Structure formats: C-alpha cells, structure tokens
Chain A
Amino acid sequence: MGLSLPAFGTSIVFSILVLAAYTFAVAVAAGRRPHLLASARLGAYATSAVITCGVLLLSYGFFTHDFRIRYISQHSDRGMSPWYLLAALWGGQDGSLLWWTFLLSVYTAGVTTWMRGKYRALQPYVIATLMVIIGFFSILMMFAANPFEQNLTGSPGSGTQMNPLLQNYWMMIHPPMLYLGFVGCSVPFSFAIAALATGRLGNEWIVAVRKWMLTAFLFLSIGNVLGMIWAYEELGWGGFWAWDPVENAACLPWFTAAAYVHSTIIQERRNMFRIWNVVLICITFLLTIFGTFLTRSGLISSVHSFAKSDIGPFFSWFLVFTAVVSCALLVYRLPLLRGDAQLESVVSREGMFVINNWALLGGMTFILGATTSPLLTEALMNQEVTVGPPFYNKWMAPIGLLIFALMGLAPLFGWRKTSASSLKTAFAFPGLCLITVTLLHAIFGAKLGYPQVVGATTVESGTAAHIYASVSAFFPGITVSLSAFNVAVVVQEFVRGTRARMSSTQKKGDAEGPLTALVRLVQKSRRRYGGYIVHLGIVGMFLGFVGTAWQIEEEANLNIGDTAQVADYTLVYQGTRMCPGNPRCSAEEQSDKAKRMLFADVDVLQDGELVSTLHPAKFIYQNPPQTTTEVALLRGLRDDLYVVLAVADPETKRATFTVHVNPFVGWIWIGLLVLITGCGVSLWPEVTTKRVTAWTYVRASVAATAGILMTFTLAASLSQPFAGSFSAAGREHLAGHQRSSASVEGAPQ
C-alpha cells in the first residue's frame, strides 16, 4: 500500500524538525570551526525547502479536496473558490502554524542569502537561532497541531466551509501581512542573540538589523491596518478597532519595533543605548510569540482567536525559555554593552528620542497590562473582570497624543543640545501652522460638524474623573492641531533640506533646480526622509482615529418608500429581495447556491440628487449554519456612510437599519499607503556598480517583476476603497462593486 498524503505530509513535518536540528548543530559548531559554515548555510536552505514542500502539499490537499486530512475537511468544502481554498491554508489553527513556519523559512532563506560574504562571525549563531524557532514550531505541529492529521472516522464526503466571516477579500492578505510582520521580528532577534553569543556588540549587528526591523515594522503596520479594514467591513458594528485582546496582541510588537527604529539611530550616531536596543529587540520578539500564544491558546475569547487547543503550554515554555536565554546572555555581556557616551541634554534629538521611546513602551505596557489583567485576575483571584474599549480609550488617548506630539517635536531638535535661538527658528513655521489651524478649527469646526471640543461624560465618580473627562473633551481639537504641526514640521524639513542642497550645489558651480535638489536630497538620506514620509502617514491615520469623536449613529425603522435623514444624507428605502430567487437579483446572485441572501435596497441622496444605491444584507449560510451581516458602504474622503441591515420583516418588508456616518475613516487607509511609501524609500537598496553575468540579469529581472507586481497588487487593493469617491458615477460603480463583493462565492475584489 502506497504512502497516503496525510502520512507523507506528517513525515514532512517530522523531517522539518530533523533538518532544523541538524542545521542548528552544524551552525553552532561553525561558530568555532568556520569551515562548517557552508554546511550550515546549505542546511538552512534545505530546511526552508522542506517547509515549502509541506505548505505546497497542504495546498495540494485543499485543491484536490482530500478530506482524509482533518484540517482540510474542517476548513473547506467543494464549493469554495480557489482563492478561499488558498486562504483556508492560514484560516485555521494547524494550517496557520505551518504558514507561520513557512514565512519564517522564507525569511531564513532570505537572510542566509543576504549574509553571503558578510557577518561571517555572526552567521552561525543567526542561523542557529532561526533553527531553534523553526524547531519549536515543528515540535508544535508534531505533538499538538499537525496540519496533516488524518480524520479518525475516515474521509467525510464533504467538508465544512471556512467561517463565513473569514471569507472576505481582506482576509486573503491581512493574515499573511501580519504574519510577515510577526515572523520578521525573528531576524533582528537572531542577530541580537548572535551578537550576544559572540560578544560582537558594536555597531556591526545594529547596522545589519536596521532594514530587517524596518521590514517587520512595515508588515506589522500593513497587517494591523488591513485587520482594521476587515473588522470595519465585516463585523458591522461601525468601527475599526475594538481593543479586542487579539487586536491588542497584534499591535504590541508594533510599539516596540517603532521604539527600536528610533533608538537604533542614537546607537549609530552617539554610540549610546546599546543595552536598551538589545532589550527592545528581545521584547519585540517575545511579544510576537506572546501574541501568537494569546491568539491560539484559547485563553481569551475573541472574534479573531482560534479554538481552544493544547498548544498553550508549548508556547508558555518557549516564551520562558527565550526570555531566560535572552536575559542570561544580556547579563553575561553587560560589561561589553555599557557605553561611555552620556545624554548631555534633554533638549536634544536624542533626548526627544528617549522620551518617545518611553512613551511607546508605556503605551505597549499599558495595553499588555490591560489585555492580560482579566486573565491574571481570573487565575489568581478567581474573579471575572472585563476591560472594555472605554477603559483603553481613556488611557491610550493621552499616551497616543504624547507620542504624536513627540513625533513632531523630535525633528526640530539638533543632536547633543539645541540652543534657544535655534529652537525659536525651528518652531516658527510649525508653531504658526498649529496656531492658525487651532483658530480655524475653533471658528469653523462646529459649523462643519467637527467641533473642537466634544463633550465627554464619565460614569466614574470623584473629582479626578470629572476633571479628566473635561480635559479629554479637548482631545479632538488637540489632535487636529498636532496633525497640522506634524505636517508643517515635515514640510519644513523637506524645504530646509532642499534649500541647503540648492545652495551648496550652487557654490560648487553645479546648481540644481528645486525638484532635482529634492529628489537628490531624498536619494542621499533615504532613511531620514523616508522616516518623515512615514510620519505623514501616521498623521493620516490619526486624522482617521480622531474622526470617531464626530461619528454619528442613528437607527431608522422604515417601510418601503420611507426616508430617513442622517447628517446630510437622505436614505430612501426601496424594499428587500431574497436571492437567489428574486427576478431583481443579478446573475451572480442567482447562481449562488452556498447561501441565501436578503438584500435591502436603499437609495442615497445628497442635496436632492441620487448619489448611490446601497444594498446592506443578511447572508444565511448552510454549511456551517451561520448568519452574517453584510455592511453597505459609501466611501468618501470626508466621511463614510455605513449602513447595516439590523432586521427585516419578510412579510411587511419593514426594515430596521443602523446608519453610521464615520468622518475621515478613509484617511487611515490613505495614511497606510503613505506609510508604505515612506518605508519603501527608507528600505530602497543602495545602488552599486558590479560586474554581472547574464544569469544575474535574469534573477534581477525576476525579482524586479515580482516586486513591482506585489507593489501594484498591494497599492491597487488598498486604493480600491476609493475607486468611487470622487464622482457620482464613481459612487454608482462603487455601489455595484459593493454589491458584488457581498457575494462570498464571487471572485475577490
């Protein structure tokens, strides 16, 4: 009898551990016997290749509907589209662990190739650390979550579809992006461990890690924002971030990664903060493991979390092991890590970075504490405590504003110390912008529906609570003013830099025009100016966040032909239709056999003119039996009209809608696009002249094509929500698009 796919897949999982263990042993030996390094590198590639084989085999199982494999039968059925079959690979616990390992293997192969001819002393330990992480995940798959495990009762005739909530376009790209961010933190951690193990704790490893951490930061940002988009479109509560424990776990490493990206500059420039940087990298990695543990152990209940499983203890042990090894190495190498340089003045760039680091770390610590406190309270005191969004919003708003303010302040300071006269010059333009926008907001804000002060109430008693509530009423206005300040700072930095370059080139007799000078300025200092562009992206996101302060939510109970007025939108209810079956259903809706869809058609008018027809819906799935609420959205740069069908009576056709007008949400997605651009500028590689062969051209063109395709796909998918924002015709197109996107069986948008 031949080897079955489940048995073969399981043997592949076993061989991952064997190869990782072999490579680890050879890599550690290569630390003392350099001639073994080539073997270790090949072992790392072999491990990556065998993991790739495992992922491809599981995908093959999905595409051939091999329901002998339990994971496949639990997360797919014959009716699912190829794209969702692919997404099912990471849609469940076991498969997502294999996917995690696969992405780590991609990073491993990438970093091994990148290190060729460089960092010879660090290489063995970098590879060994990566192999330990891969080994851990393979153990996890072998003993607790084998994606190839066979169904004990034999192969069922059909499988169970993936959770309908996960059958969404954004779920195709959100988890891989977030995982790329999480897994990406393993590379800086491996370098940190290698530096600690070898005692080479100078700037060498810091320079090596720089771009890898920025890559992880980029993917963490993309993953988190895509998660927001998914929650906004799919969960139907009108918001994008609910401080859910899994959402919190995903954003924790973002804070420390952001802190590291700034503090590493101080080590490079001033040879300070060596211990701090190692600690930040270790914490970031530990937080990625903790986040994965929180999502998968079943400890917390969340719409994002996986079912309760046995993998919790494995993660706990690994977390403890990693923390102990990191701490032990850190303590052992403490004498080498201590630097001579001191912080001379708080009124300096490094001073601002220190405060910024503490603010970011404070934010992370608060979220971590608030997320874990219900678990700890239940475990230690047997009391159930719930920490809800109001608690997080109350404390994170001032922390967020502090970080936002520091983001604008830091670039205005020089290194070491800044004199009062320099500060006066630096603050003049941004300060003027801040005052102007504050005044304009005070005068026109309320008239436009965005008042500067939003009355905040508190259920807590006590003077302090009331004082805080009064202060927090000013947060929306402060956010808008700080946004203007931040934009002004970035504009000033670009203008100053361009002017300085124009002046210096003129002195050299090779005068450059403003545009040439700007482009060359960015080319010369990509990290600095890429960072400023990232700051602009963050400003966009903050504008989106502050929009929630002016959110309007209304409920409308309508008969056919009734109208409802929400802000400046007039909604006219046109009736419901059940698809398939109703003659008004599209061909695509008629052909959908996986579910029944109840659409409510609502015309949207502005100033008496029809701008769109929205189709909020309820989908009733048979397998698994589940009803989902499908949101209808009319997007715009100023605000989004967000309509949810709450209830509809099939007899009388009377329907109840929840209507939200969400100001500036679109700026979060625009902010992400700007952030991606900024990170792209910072990450863009140095161009060097080198003798190349024809094969190098082939490799370079394949890499360039893949990069361009990925960029276009990402940019197109992220800008897709704005496809119809600028014209009525566009809005009509968008409405149609929303309608088709509501179909789970339809092709991805």
Chain B
Amino acid sequence: MSDAVAPARFVVPGVVLLLVAGVAAAGFWGGPSGVLIVLSAAALCTAIALMWTSLERMGEQASLDFEDALSVAVPSATEEQKLAVLRALKDLEYELTVGKISREDFDVASNDYRNQARRLIAAQDESMHVQLAAAEQRVLTFLQTSGAQSTPAEPSAQAASKTTSPSLAADPASTDAAD
C-alpha cells in the first residue's frame, strides 16, 4: 500500500463518523429540525466535493484495466446464441426430471439443441482463429514499432498473444477475442 493511499482509506469512515456525531449532537440540542439542517449541509458539502473530484478527474487519462476492457467488449451474436442454447438445454433437462416433458420430446429437442450448440461452437472457434491471427499480428507490429523486438519471432509473438494486453482487449477490433 502506498503512503498516499493509506490516509485516504480513513477519510470516508472518518467523515461518516463525524457526520453521525454531528447529527446526534444536532438531534440532542435542536430536535428533528437540527438533524435535518445538519444532514442537508452534509449533502451539500458532499455534492460540492463530488463535483470538484469529477472536474479534477476529467483531465486524467486513466487506462482501462483488464476487467473493464472485457466489459467493453461486445459479446458476439454467436456467443449469445450459444449461451441461449446451453441455457435451453439446462432447462430441458430440468423439465425432464420434473416430468414436464416426455422422454421422446426430450430426445428430439435435446438432439436439436446439441446440434445447434456444436454448430455455434465450431463457428466461434473459426472466428477465434481469425481474431487470434489478427491479435498476433498487432502484437508483433506493436513490439516492432516500440523497439522491443527488432525482427519478428514466432514463439515470442505467440507468447505475447496469450498474455493479452489491456489495451488490445479494449480495442473494439479484438472484441471477439476478448469474449
């Protein structure tokens, strides 16, 4: 933990404790109206502090972390369909166990869903290959332009492609890879 972060951790609990003490004191001496005016002042101060921080943050060029980058990625239509089919399979199994559908209906529907799932997974794998190749190419280009690697080398490029960098995942072009 850095020195700058340590005191900041106690600011919010400290302010909350101060507010609780202020409200208790105002309630004791001023009754409900005292509590309301203290809370109102606290809300206004909070608004000002938040606004100030918001304006300060506008200038910052914070980079996305890996989780954020993943959440930006658009799930592909294939992925969505695959999830829907897998969910439907799960439901189908549940309905068979509770006797809502017959074994014959289950077999027909289950086969259909499994075929669909296979087709979607295959399509996804195929699209993944294309995206993976594009990602590898980008890593190579990045390493070359940044001077980290003078000549293209297959193994290192593959290694780099496996440890996806946040900036790559955040790139809309690589969204399927991020999925």
Contacts and interface: CB of A to CB of B under 8 A. Distances in A.
A119 interface: yes
Chain B interface bracket (under 10, 10 to 19, 20 to 34, 35 or more): 35 or more
A421 B39 contact: no
B6 to A, nearest CB: 13
Contacts of A417: 105
Q: Which of B60, B64, B87, B99 has the most CB of A within 10 A?
A: B99
Contacts of A23: 54
A49 B43 contact: yes
A698 to B, nearest CB: 7
Interface string A29-67: 000001110111011011101101100110110011000
A399 B12 CA distance: 54
A119 B109 contact: no
A268 interface: yes
A685 interface: no
Interface string A133-177: 000000000000000000000000000000000000000000000
Nearest to B76: A202
Interface in B52-82: 53-55, 57-58, 60-64, 67-68, 71-72, 74-75, 77, 80-81
B71 A119 contact: yes
B97 A504 contact: yes
B130 interface: no
A46 B43 CA distance: 9
Please report whether the interface of chain B is mostly helix, strand, loop or mixed according to DSSP.
helix
B40 A34 contact: no
A426 B100 contact: yes
Nearest to B65: A117
Contacts of A372: none
Contact of A56 (B36, B75, B81, B104): B36
A503 B50 CA distance: 56
A269 interface: yes
B68 A117 contact: yes
B98 A422 contact: no
B18 interface: no
Contacts of B63: 35
Contacts of A269: 84, 87-88, 91
A394 interface: no
B21 interface: no
Contacts of B94: 500, 525
Interface string A410-432: 00111111110110011000000
Nearest to A119: B71
Contacts of B104: 419
Nearest to A524: B94
Given A415-B88, A504-B97, A695-B13, A39 B58 contact: yes
B123 to A, nearest CB: 13
B84 A270 contact: yes
Question: Range of interface residues on chain A?
Answer: 35 or more
B53 A419 contact: no
A118 interface: yes
B173 interface: no
B39 A56 contact: yes
A491 to B, nearest CB: 13
Contacts of A64: 33
Contacts of B60: 35, 38
A121 B101 contact: no
A8 to B, nearest CB: 10
A425 B40 contact: no
Contacts of B91: 269, 415
A686 B81 CA distance: 24
A270 B101 contact: no
Contact of B57 (A38, A202, A421): A38
A56 B40 contact: yes
A42 B100 contact: no
A414 B13 CA distance: 52
Interface in A1-34: 12, 15, 19, 22-23, 26, 34
A19 B51 contact: yes
A500 B97 CA distance: 6
A204 interface: yes
Contacts of A63: 31-33, 36
Given A50-B47, A268-B84, A36 B58 contact: yes
Interface string B38-49: 011001101110
A724 interface: no
B80 A271 contact: yes
Contacts of B33: 60, 63-64
B126 interface: no
A527 interface: no
A457 interface: no
B92 interface: yes
B71 A416 contact: no
A422 B102 contact: yes
A45 B50 contact: yes
A195 B53 CA distance: 28
Interface in A231-269: 268-269
Interface in A646-703: 695, 698
18 contacts: A35-B60, A35-B61, A35-B62, A40-B54, A42-B53, A43-B50, A49-B46, A50-B47, A60-B37, A203-B83, A271-B80, A271-B84, A414-B95, A414-B105, A421-B102, A422-B100, A499-B98, A695-B12
Interface of A: 12, 15, 19, 22-23, 26, 34-36, 38-40, 42-43, 45-47, 49-50, 52-53, 56-57, 59-60, 63-64, 82, 117-121, 199-200, 202-204, 268-271, 340-341, 412-419, 421-422, 425-426, 493, 496-497, 499-500, 503-504, 525, 695, 698
Given A19-B51, A38-B54, 19 more contacts: A19-B47, A38-B57, A45-B46, A47-B47, A49-B43, A53-B40, A56-B39, A60-B37, A117-B67, A120-B68, A121-B74, A203-B83, A269-B84, A340-B81, A414-B92, A414-B100, A414-B101, A418-B101, A499-B98
